[in-house]
Amino acid sequence: MTVNTPLCFRGKSILAPMVRVGTLPMRLLALDYGADIVYCEELIDIKMLQCKRVVNEVLETVDFVAPNERVVFRTCERERHCVVFQMGSADAERALAVAKLVESDVAGIDINMGCPKEYSTKGGMGAALLSDPDKIESILTTLVKGICKPVTCKIRILPSVEDTVNLVKRIEKTGIAAIAVHGRKKEERPQHPVHCDVIKAISEAVSIPVIANGGSHDFIREYMDIETFQKATAASSVMIARAAMWNPSIFRKEGLFPLRKVMQDYIKYAVRYDNHYTNTKYCLCQMLREQLETTQGKKLHAAQSTQEICEVFEMADFYEETTTIFTAKKTSLETKIQDEDDQMEDPDVIKMAVRFDKREYPPQITPKMYLLEWCRKEKHPQPIYETVQRPLDRLFCSVVTVAEQKYKSTL
């Protein structure tokens, strides 16, 4: 069923953004177990801007693929109405360009303003934004005005309660749909106690939904604790990171599932969505934690492919069955595309033999930039590219719509 109502951030249990952890298998599993909204891992604007949007017909996903062919962000219909795309950005125009790129495939856009790591802050992103409220304002207002999906941001608290509340009040004025507050200062580590009182002061001072975060260690060990944390912070919703990384069935009303079942459920999604084995392994290791020294833990550590991971968890048959289905699907798609290419010509698309020769362009300038500039001058909407990867030869083919006409290069 397709749900088109905008995301509501009240009374929700939310999977927090987590680098490497919050990829598609984890997000889908959290949803299965009862999460209402799932955030993807933080993805940096510059990296996203190099990506192409590709419809993957074999997996039935939408992939954002980097020039080196690595999938940077993979999503699917199941989560389209509840996945929030978290971005690292320090630039309003770049943030808007990325938001537009992913907007139709996600339910909301979030800006990370809490990451204290140097790789984020030295580029002016993450927690560095907290000391630049003008930039926060410019990024958020640009996004709120520029896209149709709800915009949120995730912050950490400042040294004083008063400054934090004032900052959130200013952020509220940008028109964002909700704000996630990790109740720690940027110097504080995850094992430091979370400041529920500060989240509470924020919740009481603003009208937009406040999403409380930071409770995994002190509060949240099972489902019932989610409500305790919500009450302690007077927040509208709760966002969970580590407790969900250790066992995503934390979102289950009926209680935690044993880790073995959770790991097998996770692996099913990892295989089904062709997750990179290093990412699958990383997430499973986070779940195993103190059991990493067991025989199973050691075997997992040694695994060098998805197939080997499946063998560790006695899921070799599942791997075999799933990959056989994919191979058959790929073959049938290849045949279909070959037939279509041979027989069917889309009369709406103008085909021209346009070759891209780098030497004909100034350094750093691409044909896409020229076309964008031309559209601006001629007052046409910006060009829309629809790109698919041909399963046959894995080449990317785009059709561009300019001034209501579709074009395609035959080369």
Ligand X SMILES: Cc1cc2nc3c(=O)[nH]c(=O)nc-3n(C[C@H](O)[C@H](O)[C@H](O)COP(=O)(O)O)c2cc1C
Residue 150 binds to ligand X (criterion: CB under 6 A): no
CA-closest candidate to residue 245, choices 12, 25, 11: 25
DSSP output for 18-29:
-TTTSSHHHHHH
Residue of the chain from 13, 61, 86, 203 that contacts ligand X (CB under 6 A): 86
Residues contacting ligand X: total by CB under 6 A: 24
Minimum distance from residue 179 beta carbon to ligand X (Å): 12
Q: Residue 98 is which amino acid?
A: V
- CA–CA separation, 177 and 156 (whole Å): 18
- Work out whether the CA dihedral 4, 140, 178, 187 comes out positive or negative: positive
Residue 185 binds to ligand X (criterion: CB under 6 A): no
What's 234-270 look like in SS3?
Answer: CCCEEEECHHHHHCHHHHCCCCCCCHHHHHHHHHHHH
- Among residues 64 and 319, whose Cβ is nearest to ligand X? 64
Residue 108 binds to ligand X (criterion: CB under 6 A): no
Stretch in the footprint of ligand X (CB under 6 A) among 63-71, 199-207, 215-223, 296-304: 215-223
Residue 18 binds to ligand X (criterion: CB under 6 A): yes
Catalytic residue among 115, 153, 196, 310: 115
Minimum distance from residue 238 beta carbon to ligand X (Å): 9
Q: Is residue 201 a contact partner of residue 161, using CB atoms and an 8 Å limit?
A: yes
Residue 241 binds to ligand X (criterion: CB under 6 A): yes
Residue 21 binds to ligand X (criterion: CB under 6 A): yes
Residue window 244-273: x/- pattern of binding to ligand X, with contact defined by CB under 6 A: -x----------------------------
DSSP output for 123-162:
TT-GGGGGG-HHHHHHHHHHHHHH-SS-EEEEEEE-SSHH
Residue window 153-172: x/- pattern of binding to ligand X, with contact defined by CB under 6 A: -x------------------
Residue 287: both structure tokens together: 């779940």
- Among residues 59 and 240, whose Cβ is nearest to ligand X? 240
Stretch in the footprint of ligand X (CB under 6 A) among 134-142, 207-215, 318-326, 377-385: 207-215
Residue 152 binds to ligand X (criterion: CB under 6 A): no
Strand partners, 408: 351
Residue of the chain from 213, 236, 275, 306 that contacts ligand X (CB under 6 A): 213
Q: Residue 88 is which amino acid?
A: G
Residue of the chain from 65, 109, 181, 240 that contacts ligand X (CB under 6 A): 240
- CA–CA separation, 338 and 141 (whole Å): 47
Residue 115 binds to ligand X (criterion: CB under 6 A): yes
Q: Is residue 24 a contact partner of residue 76, using CB atoms and an 8 Å limit?
A: yes
Residue of the chain from 27, 33, 42, 312 that contacts ligand X (CB under 6 A): 42
Minimum distance from residue 41 beta carbon to ligand X (Å): 5
> Quick check: is 115 catalytic?
yes
Residue 96 binds to ligand X (criterion: CB under 6 A): no
Q: Is residue 87 a contact partner of residue 42, using CB atoms and an 8 Å limit?
A: yes
Stretch in the footprint of ligand X (CB under 6 A) among 224-232, 234-242, 309-317, 319-327: 234-242
Residue with tokens 């406040």: 210
Q: How many CB atoms are located within 10 Å of the residue 287 CB?
A: 19
Residue of the chain from 16, 28, 177, 181 that contacts ligand X (CB under 6 A): 16
Whole-angstrom CA distances from 176 to 139, 196, 353 are 11, 22, 45
Residue 19 binds to ligand X (criterion: CB under 6 A): yes
Minimum distance from residue 374 beta carbon to ligand X (Å): 37
Q: Is residue 403 a contact partner of residue 379, using CB atoms and an 8 Å limit?
A: no
Residue 135 binds to ligand X (criterion: CB under 6 A): no
Residue of the chain from 112, 203, 230, 249 that contacts ligand X (CB under 6 A): 112
DSSP output for 308-359:
HHHHHTT-HHHHHHHHHHHHHHHHHHHHHHHHHHHH---TTEEEE-----GG
| Residues that bind ligand X in the complex, under the rule CB under 6 A | 16-19, 21, 41-42, 86, 112, 114-115, 154, 182, 190, 213-217, 240-243, 245
* Active site members: 115
